[in-house]
């Protein structure tokens, strides 16, 4: 598979087949993704994998932890302005339209949002942490690592969904995986084989035209 093909066909998948993903395949993909660039070669990503029998154990643990937790960071700016606000609104409405959930059905929308915390029923996933001494440059390094992993997963036949929503459950996740207190939970990643029968996986998010965000001088 060409890189351009993997980029074009990658999607945030929110429904997966009940088909296991081997630890060996995940190890191979993570090792390859570790070649992602990072400033000063810091390689700031710290990854904890949830797979196989560990997945139901983790989900059972999480179900018993219903107390509200302080988020690691604000996923979106408080006063998000256009065009960013418009893009966020549209992709959400497009997704709920595929699911048949109207704007007035807030319980159903919240229920779907909560599926983040079951990895959208993916058989595998991981959590990406970063040392708290790191700053915005290293956060961008995490993005390069995560994108590299997602493209490699696409090449291997797997689908993924990067999930910043997990930043809202940092205490529970850190306790389960045994992360040191100096590590900050950045995001999760759902991993598995896409279920093409589910309407939500038909979602293809719009992209802004090149001329709106690039200027040739």
Stated as kind and residue range, the H or E segment containing 215 is: none
pLDDT at 30: 98
Residue 31 lies in a domain: yes
pLDDT at 67: 81
CA 80, 82, 87, 89 torsion-angle sign: positive
Residue 76 lies in a domain: no
Q: Total structural domains in the chain?
A: 1
Helix, strand or coil for residue 114? helix
Residue 15 lies in a domain: yes
**Tokens 């996923």 sit on residue:** 75
Show the CA angle centred on residue 53, arms to residues 124 and 32, nearest 5°.
Answer: 35
Residue 156 lies in a domain: yes
What is the domain extent for residue 22?
3-63+117-203
pTM, 2 dp: 0.95
pLDDT at 69: 94
pLDDT at 168: 96
Domain CATH number, residue 157: 3.40.109.10
Mean pLDDT (10-residue bins), the chain, 217 residues: 94 97 98 98 98 97 90 95 96 95 94 95 98 97 98 98 97 98 98 97 96 97
pLDDT at 11: 95
Beta strand pairing call for 46-51 and 124-131: antiparallel
Residue 180 lies in a domain: yes
pLDDT at 65: 87
Residue 196 lies in a domain: yes
Tell me if 95 sits within 8 A of 200, measured CB to CB. yes
Tell me if 58 sits within 8 A of 50, measured CB to CB. yes
């Amino acid at each position: 598979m060409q890189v351009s093909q993997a980029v074009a066909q990658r999607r945030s998948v929110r429904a997966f087949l009940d088909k296991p993903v081997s630890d060996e395949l995940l190890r191979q993909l993570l090792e390859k993704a570790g070649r992602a660039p990072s400033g000063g070669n810091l390689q700031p990503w710290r990854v904890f994998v949830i797979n196989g029998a560990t997945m139901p154990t983790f989900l059972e643990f999480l179900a018993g932890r219903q107390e509200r937790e302080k988020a690691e960071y604000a996923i979106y700016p408080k006063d998000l302005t256009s065009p960013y606000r418009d893009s966020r609104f549209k992709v959400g409405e497009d997704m709920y339209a595929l699911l048949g959930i109207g704007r007035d059905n807030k319980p159903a929308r919240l229920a779907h949002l909560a599926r983040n915390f079951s990895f959208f029923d993916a058989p595998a996933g991981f959590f990406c942490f970063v040392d708290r001494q790191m700053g915005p440059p290293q956060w961008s390094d995490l993005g390069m690592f995560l994108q590299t992993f997602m493209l490699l997963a696409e090449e291997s036949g797997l689908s993924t969904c990067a999930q910043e929503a997990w930043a809202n459950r940092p205490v529970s996740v850190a306790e389960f995986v045994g992360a040191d207190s100096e590590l900050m939970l950045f995001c999760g990643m759902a991993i598995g084989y896409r279920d093409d029968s589910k309407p939500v996986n038909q979602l293809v998010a719009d992209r802004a035209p090149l001329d709106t965000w690039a200027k040739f001088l």
